[in-house]
A and B are shown apart, each in its own frame.
Chain A
């Protein structure tokens, strides 16, 4: 064994070494820019802005808790080959993106850093005054990071992605500008319908499971009465749920919203105790069926209508779609 082992290891090194330079060698001009995004929403926006210049893959599938997405070997491989990594930022993905980037060890991504599209998001809410674990477990020092549920996110993210893609592909700047402008125009058109939904649900009271719908609530004029989690990241406790149920009944809360990853039974029980109904809403676009961010936002607003058994007037819906 003492003689066999070095031979085996030398063979191993020889086997692996030839492939080491491959990622950089494949970065020639004319090839599509390999982009990896954390969520399908961003992948769709990169596709719309980058057009033929980019090939995009998303990691999350659309059902996950965005703080704890489960990673797979294929994610590591795709990041190792990427030229651009795009995330929401604001510490939304800080539980798993650093580990992914460190595992992938793509020196270009590590040197440039990921594109944090919400880095200078101007509408931050729920920014903690102090950073203290006694005030919660799921601490986001920069504020609530679930900005992809805000109707303003699409255009905002598109502009940041546009700027980065132009840096990486200056020869395609004109096309990227045109793509972005066209996309913003489409957002504006589709957004008319979201504004009509907001007008219908405005002023209604809602409880969240995890505070991931805060931007959506604010955009639609919903009044946030509370959350099932006593503090972000802390599972609901019996005492907190009992107090919240009293408050819900006192204030006439009709809807408890929760994401696909949160325990539906807890939301349903809490809603029933408070005289409300539990409604599951999506928290991001679905990757596997190719859902776009615009379609996701439509689905999200349809979910709000369904939560209160509301319908848009048919003639208005037809004119907006």
Chain B
């Protein structure tokens, strides 16, 4: 990576110019009622659980609190082993509330019985110009239609395979993000977001199959053989080395009952390193490292949603194309002697997913999803994942889902799973998703 001073200045000036242009001089001087800053208008493909009261409880002074439980009974055969499992995928505690007319905050703590993770802790400022918000803290990155959404809230049983591989199951970042939307004509809304992050995690739970290629900071890594490879971000870096996310999307009325949305997303990591500890064939400890690495992930998404005039029936179809470039993975290899080395996968890979979902009333919907991707390895073997599911909402606050998943692997044994998932919500369950 060769970052010029000009590039640094360009980024910094971009942030300043954007902030200034969004009207700092227009701070509202009013007794505005508490409002959350990010829209919960449900665009096609967003969690269906958010159809009404689930997202809000009146709370005059105390933050609105809620607990979500998501568990599954599953049978899986991933080629190496098979059997049943009863898992608590996640128990989540959320709190949200206004701080002042212009500030709002939210918080989410998750556990899967093994570890506790802070997945969201963010402050939002709404005192900028019309239709603009600024958030800072820890929150899910704005990439495509899905990455803002927690796994337990997805329309589908799990994150599409291509997103798990290239970005991660859940990707909270620590940084700040500017978000703005503008009308175009009377029927179209255009939104963009720009985020800068010092840290970006990648974690998940509820996987049915063991998967390789997931690490910690930076969203890269893998493990092969003896050594555990840990991608690292420096605690303090130059400004231009912060992780950047950007998204632009437009959503428009499509006929009397349809909505069409298109979007483009970017996540860039300009500076990271792979570090690993391992042992050579002689049994000596060896440290590996490679620094000055960078990677980028691009996405294009298209979503169409249709609802019957009474709003009780609907179709949703969507697709995303994902392309990853740069240094995407690493593994420890040996050349047949006692010498071992860290081998980087430096190149590009791509994948996609598509889904269709049909709701025949407010309580039931069925769907299918297909996802294909090239593994982040030199040979780039392809995996193809098929998912079919039926989701039933006994009430607005409970969800039962039955799913069947098949993974067609170019290398290795195919895998399949059956799952019954139960999700329940106590109290408010609002995440600051944006369309």
Contact = CB atoms under 8 A, between A and B. Distances in A.
B270 interface: yes
Given A12-B248, A20-B23, A76-B189, A64 B311 contact: yes
A28 interface: no
Contacts of A107: 28, 30, 32, 130
A259 B49 CA distance: 23
Contacts of A101: 35
A220 B251 CA distance: 45
Contact of A102 (B11, B23, B35): B35
B202 interface: no
A74 B28 contact: no
A256 B192 CA distance: 49
Interface string A1-25: 1110111011011101101110110
A65 B311 contact: yes
Nearest to A259: B310
B368 to A, nearest CB: 22
B65 to A, nearest CB: 14
A13 B312 contact: no
Contact of A77 (B33, B53, B183, B266): B183
Nearest to A231: B395
A179 interface: no
B180 interface: yes
Interface string B27-44: 010111101111111100
A5 B240 CA distance: 12
Contact of A74 (B18, B30, B39, B186): B186
A80 B363 CA distance: 32
B83 interface: no
A13 B185 CA distance: 19
Contacts of A24: 130
B41 A100 contact: yes
B270 to A, nearest CB: 6
Contact of A20 (B22, B52, B312): B22
Nearest to A111: B30
Interface stretch (A38-46, A90-98, A312-320): A90-98
A145 B10 CA distance: 54
B288 interface: no
Contact of A110 (B18, B35, B58, B362): B35
Interface in A121-140: 133, 137-139
A61 interface: yes
A12 B192 contact: yes
Interface string A237-261: 0000000000000000000000011
Interface string B270-294: 1000000000000000000000001
Contacts of A35: none
Given A21-B26, A67-B52, A96-B52, 5 more contacts: A2-B240, A6-B14, A104-B131, A105-B37, A110-B33
Interface of A: 1-3, 5-7, 9-10, 12-14, 16-17, 19-21, 23-24, 61, 63-65, 67-78, 80-81, 94-96, 98-107, 110-111, 113, 133, 137-139, 141, 233-235, 260-261, 263
